Structure 1
Amino acid sequence: MPAIVGIVNVNAISSSAVFNIGDVFRIAPISTSKTFSGAGSFNTGETLYVYNHKSNTNTYDKDFIDQPNSFNV
């Protein structure tokens, strides 16, 4: 079902982003990433107190592929 779209302003699109206006059957971006972070990195809140005496992030990963995207076509 067609839609009437007004003004669209796009500032930036990253390499794995999807931008669509109008009808679509399926949107399947193909991207995987691995994030390493220390203790208290993703905490959110207004009055947050995090005390980490020693923080060590283990980045050793013996398996090379965690989540393959080979069948995401």
Structure 2
Amino acid sequence: MPAIVGNVKILSVGPSSIVHFGDSIILSPNSSSKTFAGAGSFNTGDFPQVVNGASNTITNDSDFVEANANKVGGL
């Protein structure tokens, strides 16, 4: 159904957001992220005890573009 839109002021649009005017069939925001963490980084609890030797997190990423970062329409 058509709509009449008056004045619009958009202050900010965050990642994986949609700004939509008018009719549409599919709205599919997407985002991607990558997390690097070393040994014992995501431990939870009151008294975590982590014992590890020398730890090294390799952050070299030879990909210029990630595989699923630019999917259109969620297809």
**Within the alignment, does 1:40 sit opposite 2:51 as a pair?**
no
- Output aligned runs, 1:1-73, within 5 Å: 15-16=14-15, 28-73=28-73
Larger Rg: 2
Shift of 1:27: 6.0
Unaligned runs of 5+ in 1: 1-13, 19-24
Report the identity percentage: 43
Long gaps (5+) in structure 2:
1-12, 18-24
TM (norm. structure 1) is: 0.52
Structure 1 residue ranges (4+ consecutive) displaced by more than 4 angstroms after TM superposition? none
- Total equivalences in the alignment: 56
Give CA-to-partner distance per residue, 1:16-72, whole Å, 9 cap, x none. 265xxxxxx866332111111111111112231002221111011222233333223
Q: Matched residues in 2 for 1:49 and 1:26: separation?
A: 48
Amino acid at match of 2:66: D
